[in-house]
Amino acid sequence: MNPEPGFRPPPLPQNQQAQQGRRVLIALTVVGAFLIIAGILFIKYFKKGEQPQPSPPPSGDELQVHVLNVGQGDSILVIAPGGKSVLVDAGAPGSGKVVIDAMKRYGVNQIDLMVATHAHADHIGGADEVMRRTKVTTVLDSKISISTKNYEDFLSAIERTGAKYVPASPGQKFDLGGNATLTVLAPIQPFFTSDQLRSGANEPNANSIVTRLDYGDFSMLLTGDAEAETEDRLMKTGANIKARILKVGHHGSRYASSEKFLRQGGFEAAVISNGAENRYGHPNQTALDRLRQLGTKLYRTDLQGEITIIARGSGYEIKTERAESGDLWAGRTPPRNDAADEGDSSRSSRPSRRTGSGR
Ligand SMILES: [Zn+2]
């Protein structure tokens, strides 16, 4: 049967029309949601592309790093933009006074974090005096203990003052306020043992706490007495060693600051903390030559006194206490070949291992 000319299908019943409408609405909602999600993802991706290093923006206030003049040893006072303070090492016994004086000069009332890079006397010798004379909230330790009076005094000062004891571990991040951070890179476990180290080297140095300080476009690597073995391990494990400034490892020892490490770090400036009179021959000429070859700007506490770095999140400036009193690029020679061993720091628990290291 043919339909009549002009036949039109009968209109859909009303409930079928409503169903079709709902389907269209659902389809539109799905498409809309998809577009919104795609948009959010695109913006996120785009933003990421704009900022390859998504570090938080600096507050714009000053970050101060004072590499104190404690003679042969290390002590670095960091004052973060938000006012928090970090003391990386406290120099040799007797250096507590230098730290306390610097705190007074810069209006620092307490140490929020004390980093004891390792147990040698030229790094923790002044720590008990600092803890006796000012409040230290938290102490970060490498946990490589040695049986010296200095290290025992350091541990008992922590106990006596009730400072919080924290063993260092890579990845720990300390928020210093104002979007400045201190990140632990080493010691990396398992700890170096003596059989893994060259003759004359030692576990406290090789397992030094290495940290990086970040604030806006400013960054600084603080290496304690880490040597080439530590540097190799940092590079092999992919630690972020790229920084604008390097606190040179082990006072400029020839066994630290390998060329590969300096190249990868890309440091613009390097600071050596050492004493004018030291029996180790620090800094060593070959280490200085490696820094000079890469065009690194050099600062030394033995020739320029206290070195101060000021960063405001964008750029930085370095000031010295005084004009250099000698050639920055000239290394020191140990006074007596048999007495000096730059592989070790003073007062190690293993005096027998101090002899026989190559220089
Ligand atoms: Zn040292």
Confidence of residue 295 (pLDDT cuts 50, 70, 90): very high
pLDDT at 351 over 80: no
Strand order in the sheet with 210-215: 173-177, 180-186, 210-215, 218-222, 245-247, 269-272, 297-300
pLDDT on residue 296: 98
For residue 60, the CA-to-ligand 1 centroid distance in Å is 33
pLDDT on residue 343: 45
For residue 344, the CA-to-ligand 1 centroid distance in Å is 8
- Of the candidates 316, 240, 313, the one whose C-alpha atom is nearest the C-alpha of residue 57 is 313
Q: Which 8-state DSSP code applies to residue 272?
A: E
248 neighbors 228 (Cβ within 8 angstroms): no
214 neighbors 55 (Cβ within 8 angstroms): yes
pLDDT at 216 over 80: yes
CA geometry: angle at 113 spanning 110 and 116, to 5°? 120
What average pLDDT does the chain have?
A: 87
Determine how many CB atoms are found less than 10 A away from the CB of residue 347.
Answer: 18
Confidence of residue 337 (pLDDT cuts 50, 70, 90): low
Separation in Å, CA 296 to CA 1, 11, 242, 317 = 99, 86, 14, 15
Q: Which pLDDT tens digit goes with each residue over 32-53?
A: 666 666 655 544 444 443 344 4
pLDDT at 8 over 60: no
For residue 317, the CA-to-ligand 1 centroid distance in Å is 26
Radius of gyration of the chain (CA): 29
pLDDT on residue 336: 67
pTM: 0.80
Mean pLDDT over 139-150 rounds to 96
CA geometry: angle at 307 spanning 149 and 359, to 5°? 60
For residue 319, the CA-to-ligand 1 centroid distance in Å is 23
pLDDT on residue 123: 98
For residue 357, the CA-to-ligand 1 centroid distance in Å is 16
For residue 133, the CA-to-ligand 1 centroid distance in Å is 23
For residue 120, the CA-to-ligand 1 centroid distance in Å is 7
For residue 346, the CA-to-ligand 1 centroid distance in Å is 8
Which string of DSSP letters, residue by residue, matches 326-341? S-TT-----SSTTT--
Q: Where are the alpha helices (DSSP H) in 219-340?
A: 228-236, 259-265, 285-293, 301-304
For residue 123, the CA-to-ligand 1 centroid distance in Å is 6
For residue 264, the CA-to-ligand 1 centroid distance in Å is 23
* Phi, psi (deg, nearest 5) at residue 255: -85, 0
For residue 92, the CA-to-ligand 1 centroid distance in Å is 9
Sign (positive or negative) of CA dihedral 243, 238, 67, 112: positive
For residue 237, the CA-to-ligand 1 centroid distance in Å is 24
Structure token digits, residue 114: 């004390």
pLDDT at 341 over 70: no
Higher pLDDT, 5 or 87: 87
- Of the candidates 278, 324, 268, the one whose C-alpha atom is nearest the C-alpha of residue 301 is 324
Determine how many CB atoms are found less than 10 A away from the CB of residue 171.
Answer: 8
C-alpha 21/C-alpha 288 separation (Å) is: 80
Residue with tokens 């990421």: 48
For residue 308, the CA-to-ligand 1 centroid distance in Å is 20
pLDDT on residue 241: 98
Q: Which pLDDT tens digit goes with each residue over 119-130?
A: 999 999 999 999
For residue 228, the CA-to-ligand 1 centroid distance in Å is 15
Higher pLDDT, 288 or 20: 288
User: Which residues have their alpha-adjacent CB atom under 5 A from ion ligand 1?
Assistant: 122, 225, 345
